[in-house]
Amino acid sequence: STRLGLTFEQLKIYYDARGLTLNSAFMQNLELLTPGGKPNYAAYLLADENGVSVQVAKYRGISRDDLIENQDYGRCCLVRALKEVLSRMDVENTIYTRIGKMEREERPMIDPRALREAAVNAVVHNDYSNGASPKFEFFKDRLEITSSGGLPYGVELDDFFGGYSSPRNKEIMRVFRDLELVEQLGSGVPRILEKYDRSVFKIFPNFLRVVFHYAKPFGGEAQVEAQVEAQVELASWQVDILKACSLKEKSGRELLTALGYSGRTGNFKKRLQHLLGQGLLEMTLPEKPRSRFQQYRLTDKGRNLLKHLNKEI
């Protein structure tokens, strides 16, 4: 615990997972203190609890008239918020598959690498000083990722598209680099431009938006969606657990609630271990299986299987 009641247990766990240790001077080392020695706003964003929302919205059509879902992944350590948003992006990013006589061809709805870069950039470079936060909006035909703040002061369009980076939140960038959530400084935009042209970027004085229009499915009867290589027969309780984890990482207690249990039982533990053993679920902290911060999330195999099951329903 530090001044103002901020705690950083989640951040410490993420550093531990990378083989790094945050010692008692970590706030000073990571530049999370003001000149007066109090936690700065970057510290607030990285704390276990804060008031900053990170919204993922889903609309039925191509406008904002018919909102069908609005999920807040924020109000926690910004690292955790980003990881949960990235997991949600993976769930939503349908993989179209066409199986021919000699080969299998896959086409993602949105290029996964470009999608990840855009999501990370939105969180890292968002201007949090005015109370705004990044937002991710799924429409019928596209995904819009919006971050507050236009181009940083002194950065021209050609600089931006060329990968010149002037991080708005250098303390956040430092932490994300430590945790390997970002790689080389300024590499995000060029990577997006490897798959899309400049028109996906909508740059305004006070915000920046990336718009990914979805790729079209393959035509013909040979089309299947996100087929699972080894079909697995699932009981209803297994499907319920997978669905519970499809939108957000879940703790054991949250999964108990989803299944209607009032408390942990041997039966529940066996069911959870069964899904872990099948490679459909994974622990967020595999090196600390008994941690009170342990949560469970879908693996790629679990996501693909759930997508396939949803299509059959």
- Convert the pLDDT of each residue in 41-66 to its tens digit: 999 999 999 999 999 999 999 999 99
Three-state secondary structure readout of 15-33? HHHCCCCCCCCHHHHCCCE
Question: Is residue 73 assigned to a domain?
Answer: yes
Domain final residue pick, 220, 247, 267: 220
**Over residues 271-296, mean pLDDT:** 85
Residue span of the structural domain in which 133 resides: 49-220
Q: What residues does 97 pair with on adjacent strands?
A: 106, 224
Asked if 132 and 235 sit in the same domain, the reply is: no
Asked if 213 and 165 sit in the same domain, the reply is: yes
Output the CA–CA distances (angstroms, integers) from residue 220 to 99, 100, 110, 224, in the order listed.
Answer: 11, 11, 21, 10
pLDDT per position as a tens digit, 83-111: 999 999 988 888 887 766 567 788 899 99
pLDDT per position as a tens digit, 120-148: 999 999 999 888 999 999 999 999 999 99
pTM of the model: 0.69
Asked if 274 and 137 sit in the same domain, the reply is: no
Domain final residue pick, 220, 255, 273: 220
Range of weakest confidence among 154-163, 240-249, 263-272, 300-309: 263-272
Asked if 180 and 257 sit in the same domain, the reply is: no
Confidence of residue 226 (pLDDT cuts 50, 70, 90): very low
Q: Checking DSSP bridges between strand 250-251 and strand 207-213, what pairing results, if any?
A: unpaired
Question: Is residue 30 assigned to a domain?
Answer: no
Residue 127: CATH number of its domain? 3.30.565.60
- Whole-number pLDDT of residue 133: 94
Q: Does residue 221 register a pLDDT over 60? A: no
pLDDT per position as a tens digit, 67-79: 999 999 999 999 9
Here the tokens at position 7 are 């705690």
Residue 295: CATH number of its domain? 1.10.10.10
Percent of the chain with pLDDT over 90: 52
Percent of the chain with pLDDT over 70: 88
> Domain tally for the chain?
2
- Whole-number pLDDT of residue 113: 94
Is 117 exposed, middle or buried (CB count within 10 Å of its CB: 0-12, 13-18, 19+)? buried
Asked if 202 and 97 sit in the same domain, the reply is: yes
Question: Is residue 38 assigned to a domain?
Answer: no
Q: Does residue 26 register a pLDDT over 60? A: yes
pLDDT per position as a tens digit, 250-280: 998 888 887 777 666 666 777 788 788 778 8
- Whole-number pLDDT of residue 202: 95
Question: Is residue 152 assigned to a domain?
Answer: yes
Asked if 159 and 253 sit in the same domain, the reply is: no
